[in-house]
Amino acid sequence: MSKFKNTLTLTHKDLEAKRALIIEEDTKASADDIIKVVEKDIRTLKRDLMELEDLGKENSTDLRPVHKDFKPQLWFETVANKRLELALLTEKLNIYKETYQEFFGEEKSNDSILK
């Protein structure tokens, strides 16, 4: 049988299954992309925090413990806000991963579709 004839004789269920697979693959790829962006944002925040927490001297001959333009209140607010942002992003990532697993992980039974 030719491919054309096969295409003509596809049942409603066959066509529906093909379309569902395409939609699933697109949605799964989009979810992967979203998760990767959040993971990258978390790494960036961790790097920013590491730089903020490095209060060491700029050079070995400097007698100041921190750089001369250090502003304690601004530093504290920035560190606290970055930590809050990191906590929120981490929770967001956990929820994204749970949702991903729920919809794209292996199903245990057909009843889980209704939940």
Report yes or no on 114 lying in a domain: no
pTM for this structure? 0.75
Q: How far is CA 59 from the centre of its chain?
A: 38
Reading phi first (left if > 0) and then psi (alpha if -120 to 50, else beta), residue 61 is in: alpha
Domain total in the chain: 1
Which range of residues forms the domain containing residue 47? 3-52+66-105
Give tens-digit pLDDT for 37-52.
Answer: 999 999 999 999 998 8
Report yes or no on 60 lying in a domain: no
Report yes or no on 43 lying in a domain: yes
Q: How confident is the model at residue 57, as a pLDDT?
A: 61
Report yes or no on 18 lying in a domain: yes
